[in-house]
Amino acid sequence: MHQEDYRRLGYSDKWINQRLKSIEVRKELTDEWDRVGVKEGQQYASLTDIITQAWSGKTTRQYKQYKWLKKESLRDNMTNIELALNILAEASTTEISKAQNPKGFKQSAAVARKGGKIAGDARKKLESQIGRSVITRDKASDYLPPADRIQELPEETED
């Protein structure tokens, strides 16, 4: 999805900006995985699971089930803080990979655990300060205005 798609659906500009940043960070990570010989598809999915489990305590599948998602995008249904932690996990994994230069999937899995753990440690520190989990069943869409209040944006016209 693009910025205008999210805006049309009623997402806040703050959330949209963060979601777009998360897409950029994810692209940097997959570029890094390509560089070190990780194969797209199942290896990407496995490394994503390692990162997600390390920061959230749940695999991607468990996280989606927790949020009652079926085919919807997990990232599109994360709250601001969940997105921020996911960005931290993926950006940390990218930077560690660049510094340690792993070869292939197995070494990249160890890097993924380290990157995810950085965000996991941050999550636990935050939770100890606020007294509750930031891993929530809430979805970003829970905070959207009712459908009858979402206004269609006018079609762009060429002048």
Domain boundaries, the chain: 3-143
Where residue 60 falls (left for φ over 0; alpha for ψ -120 to 50; beta otherwise) is: alpha
- What end-to-end distance do the CA atoms of the chain give, in Å? 26
What single letter denotes the amino acid at residue 84?
Answer: A
Give residue-wise pLDDT tens across range 76-133.
Answer: 999 889 999 999 999 999 999 999 999 999 999 999 999 999 999 999 999 999 999 9
CA-CA distances (angstroms) from residue 148 to 9, 86, 132?
A: 11, 32, 33
Confidence of residue 158 (pLDDT cuts 50, 70, 90): very low
The H or E element spanning position 2 is none
DSSP single-letter state for residue 158: -
Confidence of residue 143 (pLDDT cuts 50, 70, 90): low
Tokens linked to 6: 């999210």
pTM of the model: 0.85
